[in-house]
Structure 1
Amino acid sequence: MDASGSARMVKAKTVNWLKQVRYQAERLTGQRIRIGVTGLSGAGKTTFITSFINQLENHQRGLLARRPPFDRLESVRWQRDGVEQPFPYLSALAALAADPPRWPESTSDLSRVVIDLRFRPHGLLGKLQGSRTLHIEIIDYPGEWLLDLPLLGLDYGRWCEQLQGWLSQEPRRSLAGPLLERLTAIDPLAPVDAGLLAELTTEWTAFLHRCRADAGLSRNQPGRFLLPGQGVAAEMLQFVPLPAVNQHTQGESGSWWHQCSTRFDYYRDYVVKGFYDQHFSTLDRQILLVDMLTPMDAGQAALVDLKAALEAVLDSFRYGRNSLLERWFKPRIERLAVCASKVDQVAPSQQRAVQQCLEDLLTDSLSEVRHGGVEVKGFPLAAIRAARQEGDALVAALDGQSGGVRYQPGHIPEHLPLDLKVQGPELLRLRPPTGLHRNEPFAHYRMDDLIDWTLEGDG
């Protein structure tokens, strides 16, 4: 890493430390709660956050009005001014209100949500203290970046070994095609060819896109090759896994190994760890969104990859209760909501089955989380309900079209088979319903239950 890169890293760490000190002071006084909305690409994070804000803004009109402490909620303010990289709430609302409606643009960079809730006093002590304000903070980010968190436990050699295993299996082996042969032919100890490295990086990025689009695979690393975001020098994203490299490989300066290894280390230590330390290391609650239906429709390989991706991601977070002193230095997630998203695509009677299949997929990981003392609860969720039931059929509009269709949703098994072989539900691409407006609560499934449980005890 050059001197300018080192200086940027030191500055970023200093700024991050000051932010964490200020945040922890507010956190310990019960004035702030930080929620991590975790989801891979396509899980519906942007739509979920838009609905989350909408439900709170319309708390008096929606189902939340019947629940304490929201029956004491006086005002809700979504902050824009003074918020660094604010979440594009208004743009998301405009997309949903278009003719025909369309889903909000997927997240392409980091953004922040800050919501202030003011509650009326409750009880004698509350009346003496006056109204109470709770600050909710949510970080939105591309789901592709989440898949880089497991890199924190790897060096370049081990990462290459891991990719060798992935590339030896279908469908990645076929999707890689000639690229795999080109990478295999490179001698990692030979002098690096900068032009060829740039070309191979472009080809690797195209391969990752194919893995996601053509096979529904989840483990696509490095994630920022798909969506770089801002603040990362383009040349530092030029490295590829070399099949001839293992954890014992060592090369001289100027070699393929040295160039790729140096840039991998920078990516892991500056980009991935900096992102984790700033946004994930101080979470109070976590909401895990998983589009379970799409990989079930794609087949066994997609489900196997989703399982491995989610297990690796969950292993990257700190869970469990801790002492007051530990909450300052090593805060941990105390509640985890596990949500099968987009369940409006199946009949209401089948939505719990989708959720059960998700929890079947993550049985071991969720057992570990619960063993650490974390409260875990499942929510089959539709942040915005795109389909409604009429008799034994569903009625919805197709994406990009104005008219509606009536169809029979596919069957979901009560439990996910251990071999992950299922008959896909044959999904349709639905669009949002018409008539959505900021000043009316969006139709949904269980957003009120989720918000209530996530904020329980903080009003």
Structure 2
Amino acid sequence: MQKNIAALFDKTMAAASLTSNTLADVFSKETHRFTITGLSRSGKSMLFTSLVTMLKSRSEEGYACLPLLRYLPPSQVLDIRIEPLEGYKSFPQAENLAALEQGQWPAATEEAFGFKLIVRLKQTASIKRHVLPHTDIVFEFIDYPGEWITDIPMLSKTYAQWSDSAWAQLSGGPQQHFAHDWKQVVNSFDFEQPPTPERIQHLVHAYRQYLIEAKRQGISLLQPGSFLLDSSDFDWQSFGFTPLPSSITSDVSHPWYKAFEQHFGAFQDKWLAPLKQSIFKETDKQIILVDLFEGLNHSRQHLYQLKETLSHLADTFVYGQSSWFSRNVLKKEQIGKVAFVATKADLIPVSQRENLLSLLTQITEGARARFTDKPIEFEHFLVSAIEVTDKGSTPQAIRYKNSDGAYVESTFEPVPSALKEMEEGAHFPVPHAKVPADFKARILAGKGLDRLLQFLLGKGEQ
């Protein structure tokens, strides 16, 4: 009862300063803003595509998907529509469905997308029904490249600090195996020569090749990730930089140090700061997508690095419960609900998914430590945006069509439920499933999105 009174008070206070044209919106609209945070290849594009497809099929075709989503009962849904979100490009839903139709997975996100999903519900309470015949539930979604997320923490560092930390990262962990060529370039480079544009480009291109190879090999913590995106508005060709040996970064008078410090400052001021201001703000709910299979497919070191990466990323966002004053006067939101989501859960048998959920819980320990003493609600989920596999002949097996189109069965060893259970040097091959011809039916059969939405909307039991 107290919560209902507080909610009505919030709306009444907000209505006091509104015109009659917008007064009805205060009482007939409920808005939820989601930020989908995920590293590259975590499945953001497919998740968005499936979510919109499921909700539209649920309302327009009466399909019984999202069975646990009690907050949006199909019998009460009058209409679902998609509208642009001001300041963002529209999410390419039609293009993604066309790609699936051609047997291709949706393209990776390389720029920011935003859209509103507006669900119009019939009023059920008798009093409200006579005053306002419907309620609009507005979902605002923001999607952006995973490479941007890993770059934002660079805002809090000086060039020398970043350079030293970057050298430490590529000299240890799994990165060291892919940085050999880059280190050779540095070792043979003559830093006594002045930093001309040509010499700077030579170093930057060599470092970028390392970033490309490391990303291909499943490395999650790569900076600057923006250098990997052809669509990036930052001119890394002219203002690029790389980590430099400590013998140079310790000498603030060195010409190479001064050149890269200047470029690093331009990267922070002209790219990262505006990016954080425009993209990483005004959201109250966050979905953090985690692709555990990328690590399982490579090594235990990759999983440890994923854990470290998620811990660093938690520093990028503002967590806490927003008050009425901060939301309506200061126009600032804080994230009050966080969902940690392991994607592509259909790539292992159902019998192994409990272990996968346990592993996800351990991988997020560092990120959750950032929530200490803050009123944050969080939960862990396994989600299949599209069910590309079928049950196998045993509980340890799955069936699917491989990249050659052959219907095959794979049997799995137990997935580790904790990092310590994965032996050094071991890896778990991940099925490379082909886009199924019946992709829409398999999207509608996806699992986990209903529980995820139910948690984020704050309705029903978990």
Provide the TM-score with structure 2 as the length reference.
Answer: 0.84
Matched, 1:155 2:158: yes
79, 83, 89: which one aligns with 2:83: 79
Does the residue aligned with 1:79 lie in a helix, a strand or coil?
strand
Change beyond 3 A, Cα 1:396–1:178: closer
Matched, 1:107 2:109: yes
Structure 2 distance, partners of 1:176, 1:26, is 59
1:124 shift after superposition: 3.3
Structure 2 distance, partners of 1:75, 1:69, is 15
1:358 shift after superposition: 1.4
Q: Deviations over 1:391-415 (max 9, x none)?
A: 312110113x323111213321233
Partner of 2:366: 364
Residues 185 and 206 of structure 2 are in contact (CA less than 8 Å); yes or no, is this contact kept in structure 1?
Answer: no
Q: Map of 1:3-82 to 2, 5 A cutoff?
A: 31-59=30-58, 60-64=62-66, 67-71=69-73, 72-79=76-83
Residues 396 and 430 of structure 1 are in contact (CA less than 8 Å); yes or no, is this contact kept in structure 2?
Answer: yes
Q: Deviations over 1:423-459 (max 9, x none)?
A: 4322121123221339x9522121121122223359x
Partner of 2:401: 397
Partner of 2:447: 445
Structure 2 distance, partners of 1:78, 1:302, is 38
- The range that moved more, 138-147 or 173-182, is 173-182
Structure 1 distance, partners of 2:410, 2:418, is 24
Residues 34 and 284 of structure 1 are in contact (CA less than 8 Å); yes or no, is this contact kept in structure 2?
Answer: yes
Structure 1 distance, partners of 2:266, 2:90, is 27
Change beyond 3 A, Cα 1:372–1:136: same
Matched, 1:296 2:299: no
Change beyond 3 A, Cα 1:28–1:331: farther
Provide the TM-score with structure 1 as the length reference.
Answer: 0.85
Change beyond 3 A, Cα 1:27–1:228: farther
Structure 1 distance, partners of 2:378, 2:25, is 21
1:197 shift after superposition: 0.7
Q: Deviations over 1:338-382 (max 9, x none)?
A: 011111111112112112101112223214326411110111111
Structure 1 distance, partners of 2:26, 2:326, is 11
Residues 298 and 427 of structure 2 are in contact (CA less than 8 Å); yes or no, is this contact kept in structure 1?
Answer: yes
Does the residue aligned with 1:336 lie in a helix, a strand or coil?
strand
162, 168, 192: which one aligns with 2:195: 192
Structure 2 distance, partners of 1:84, 1:371, is 34
Change beyond 3 A, Cα 1:187–1:159: farther
Residues 337 and 378 of structure 1 are in contact (CA less than 8 Å); yes or no, is this contact kept in structure 2?
Answer: yes
213, 220, 223: which one aligns with 2:222: 220
Structure 1 distance, partners of 2:271, 2:341, is 28
Residues 345 and 427 of structure 1 are in contact (CA less than 8 Å); yes or no, is this contact kept in structure 2?
Answer: yes
State the percentage of identical aligned residues.
Answer: 23
1:92 shift after superposition: 0.9
Does the residue aligned with 1:315 lie in a helix, a strand or coil?
helix
Residues 157 and 249 of structure 1 are in contact (CA less than 8 Å); yes or no, is this contact kept in structure 2?
Answer: no
Structure 2 distance, partners of 1:394, 1:418, is 23
Structure 2 distance, partners of 1:207, 1:170, is 15
Q: Map of 1:316-335 to 2, 5 A cutoff?
A: 316-327=316-327, 328-335=330-337
Partner of 1:379: 381
Structure 1 distance, partners of 2:85, 2:26, is 25
Structure 2 distance, partners of 1:305, 1:363, is 13
Residues 370 and 376 of structure 1 are in contact (CA less than 8 Å); yes or no, is this contact kept in structure 2?
Answer: no
1:287 shift after superposition: 0.6
Change beyond 3 A, Cα 1:202–1:83: same
Does the residue aligned with 1:37 lie in a helix, a strand or coil?
strand
1:419 shift after superposition: 8.2
- The range that moved more, 163-172 or 87-96, is 163-172
Change beyond 3 A, Cα 1:349–1:204: same
Structure 2 distance, partners of 1:183, 1:47, is 39
Does the residue aligned with 1:144 lie in a helix, a strand or coil?
helix
314, 326, 340: which one aligns with 2:342: 340
228, 231, 234: which one aligns with 1:229: 231
Q: Deviations over 1:270-322 (max 9, x none)?
A: 31222222121111111111110220221122112211111101121111113
Residues 395 and 406 of structure 1 are in contact (CA less than 8 Å); yes or no, is this contact kept in structure 2?
Answer: yes
Read off the aligned partner of 2:48 and give its amino acid letter: I
Change beyond 3 A, Cα 1:68–1:191: same
Structure 1 distance, partners of 2:179, 2:228, is 16
175, 191, 199: which one aligns with 1:172: 175
Residues 85 and 115 of structure 2 are in contact (CA less than 8 Å); yes or no, is this contact kept in structure 1?
Answer: no
Structure 1 distance, partners of 2:286, 2:315, is 13
Partner of 1:10: none
1:221 shift after superposition: 0.7
Structure 1 distance, partners of 2:236, 2:166, is 22
Partner of 2:15: none
Structure 2 distance, partners of 1:32, 1:123, is 20
Change beyond 3 A, Cα 1:361–1:441: closer
426, 431, 436: which one aligns with 1:433: 436
Change beyond 3 A, Cα 1:246–1:315: farther
Read off the aligned partner of 1:89 and give its amino acid letter: Q
Q: Deviations over 1:71-92 (max 9, x none)?
A: 1222111236987421111111
Partner of 1:95: 99
Partner of 1:280: 280
Residues 74 and 119 of structure 1 are in contact (CA less than 8 Å); yes or no, is this contact kept in structure 2?
Answer: yes
Structure 2 distance, partners of 1:263, 1:420, is 42
Does the residue aligned with 1:64 lie in a helix, a strand or coil?
coil
Structure 2 distance, partners of 1:62, 1:186, is 63
Change beyond 3 A, Cα 1:441–1:43: closer
1:223 shift after superposition: 0.7
Partner of 1:145: 148
- The range that moved more, 144-153 or 328-337, is 328-337
Structure 1 distance, partners of 2:51, 2:222, is 28
Read off the aligned partner of 1:41 and give its amino acid letter: S
Q: Matched residue pairs, number?
A: 427
- The range that moved more, 417-426 or 36-45, is 417-426
Structure 1 distance, partners of 2:215, 2:389, is 26
Q: CA RMSD in A?
A: 2.9
Residues 227 and 236 of structure 2 are in contact (CA less than 8 Å); yes or no, is this contact kept in structure 1?
Answer: no
1:151 shift after superposition: 0.6
